[in-house]
Structure 1
Amino acid sequence: MSGKRRVFLLACLCYAIFIANIATSILIPLFPPEAALKATTVSESKTVTTHVGFVFSTFAFVVVVASPILGTYVREIGSRFMLTSGMFLVGGATALFGTIHYIDDWTSFLVIAYVSRVIQGFGTALLYTATWTIAATKFRDNVSTVVGILEMGLGVGYVIGPASGGGLFRLAGFPAPFFIIGGLILIGVVLFPFVVRDTGNDADLTQQTTEATVPKLLTNFWIWMTSFCLMICTAAWGFINTTSSAFLHSTFGFDPALVGLIMFYYSVFYIMSSPIIGRLATKFGQEIPDSWNFDTRRCYALPWPLFPSHPTP
């Protein structure tokens, strides 16, 4: 690919990550007060916070379960198809979530909320898997820098989501943020097959990833250490998302627009630091242990009997 084509492809991937994370995060300041309004009985009011937490975590659970499976079959499915189909599911699920405003029955309200988050989680897993696959195959010479840029797009979307959702809520009500963002994602579904034509030959992944199967990855010590660090950081972020909106709304009477603006600030540092960390990882990447190189059949297997060791040279 030419330099201009690579830049254009990276911009498209950043847009996909950016708009998908806006769709993921716009409900943070909006859903807790909406759920509190729909809970009309005492028993329903007591379970509002619990259901809010489960609605948030359902998305992450689906991503965790679906991602390794999709990663295993990315060559068969195709990265471009995964990217466009993931955007279609995320956009449709985001618009569907906006319809819960018109549902008064508590049970139906929760069913639509859960279903839309399941669909959104699966679509996000498709989109993320395709994005990282394309980044790894088309930007092999500076993968860490590209991943840092994509992480910056992810962080920007996650930051803008609550603030833009709160602002659109103040202007046009609860459904507007979900319908508008969902529509922008669906526009990308129409345009991406034309503008992202050469995402790479997925057959090229065969020789690169033959040894890096999911079972082997799950027996690698450094994979588990990295995953543990990510889980701790994500859990800390998730606790804030689940509780802060309801707390600020019930204790101080803040509306969703103000809650979204407050939640804007704690993600700014994430946006600013991601490309810097990616650049540092590219510069000092030679110090990464050889255990990451599965093509050499060398890895640090976990010492527990549950996980078999791999042959070593």
Structure 2
Amino acid sequence: MSECEEATDRELAIDRRRHQRWVLITMIGLRFVTVLPIAVISSFFPQEVERWRPVSEASLYMDIITGVFGSTAILGSIASSQWVINDIGTRHLLCLTVFLLGMSTILFGCLDYTNSWPGFISLSVIIRLVQGFAYGLTDVIVYGLGTAASSEQMGLASGLLELSFAIGGASGPAIGGILHKVGGFGLPLFCDWWSDVGLYDGSGQSLVFVR
């Protein structure tokens, strides 16, 4: 093998490692922000429920909303099985799921404008159904892409992805509480949507060659 070919191979290897690192970093960021919709509302959603119902019932409705989200997230994870990814394509499916997650997050942030309790709780459940399903799809794809991008250090990649999930879940209530005090009900959710879009836009450059 000539020196020119060896230099080309080294450059390709460097580019490949850089590409893998960028995919892993963006997937870590996406996993962090996609868990925020679960966590950010826990600090202020019960207060919104208290506008309509007694204080003693606020935690019950919070549990219902959380349960709806978790149940449909499981269904979303099942739906993102290998045949779905093969039929639609990983990049296209990630685009679709981030779009659904973002739009449902925006709609949930607009619930503050409802003027009746039946409308508020009904829309909350419906939106969380869509949001949970989109989250289940997104989480499986993000985790798969993140670990596949670092196949030589899959244990480290898996640990970093789980760490970002844990940090997002732990910091979500604090972030939601601060943003709620600053801008009201919708601001925490609108900020989460912007972070979703920004990170997906960054990851899109690294997923150009991913089907």
Same fold per TM (> 0.5)?
A: yes
The alignment partner of 2:115 has SS state of coil
Conserved? CA contact 1:66–1:125, under 8 Å: yes
Alignment equivalent of 2:162, drawn from 148, 151, 157 = 151
* 1:98-124 alpha-carbon deviations (Å, 9 max, x no partner): 111111201100111112211111111
TM (norm. structure 1) is: 0.58
AA at the equivalent of 1:68: I
The alignment partner of 1:26 has SS state of helix
* 1:210-258 alpha-carbon deviations (Å, 9 max, x no partner): xxxxxxxxxxxxxxxxxxxxxxxxxxxxxxxxxxxxxxxxxxxxxxxxx
**Paired position in structure 1 for 2:25:** 11
**Paired position in structure 2 for 1:96:** 107
Counterpart-to-counterpart distance in 1, 2:147 and 2:25: 15
Percent pairwise identity: 20
RMSD between aligned alpha carbons? 2.0
**Paired position in structure 1 for 2:47:** 33
Against the structure 1 CA distance between its residues 189 and 109, is the aligned structure 2 distance closer, same or farther, given a 3 Å change threshold?
same
Moved over 4 A (4+): none
TM (norm. structure 2) is: 0.84
Task: Using the TM superposition, give the Cα deviation of residue 132 of structure 1 relative to its aligned residue in structure 2, in angstroms.
Answer: 2.5
Alignment equivalent of 2:72, drawn from 62, 66, 73 = 62
**Paired position in structure 2 for 1:76:** 87
Against the structure 1 CA distance between its residues 26 and 87, is the aligned structure 2 distance closer, same or farther, given a 3 Å change threshold?
same
Query: Pairwise mapping of residues 115-194 of structure 1 onto structure 2 (< 5 A)?
Result: 115-194=126-205
AA at the equivalent of 1:185: D
Task: Using the TM superposition, give the Cα deviation of residue 46 of structure 1 relative to its aligned residue in structure 2, in angstroms.
Answer: 6.0
Unpaired segments ≥5 residues, structure 1: 202-313
1:197 is the counterpart of 2:205: no
* 1:81-137 alpha-carbon deviations (Å, 9 max, x no partner): 222222111111111111111112011001111122111111111211211222343
Alignment equivalent of 1:2, drawn from 5, 16, 22 = 16
Greater Rg over alpha carbons, structure: 1
Conserved? CA contact 1:23–1:182, under 8 Å: no
Higher relative CO (Cα under 8 Å, sequence separation at least 6) belongs to 2
Unpaired segments ≥5 residues, structure 2: 1-14
Counterpart-to-counterpart distance in 2, 1:80 and 1:163: 32
Q: Give the count of matched residue pairs.
A: 196
Counterpart-to-counterpart distance in 1, 2:75 and 2:191: 29
Counterpart-to-counterpart distance in 2, 1:134 and 1:189: 13
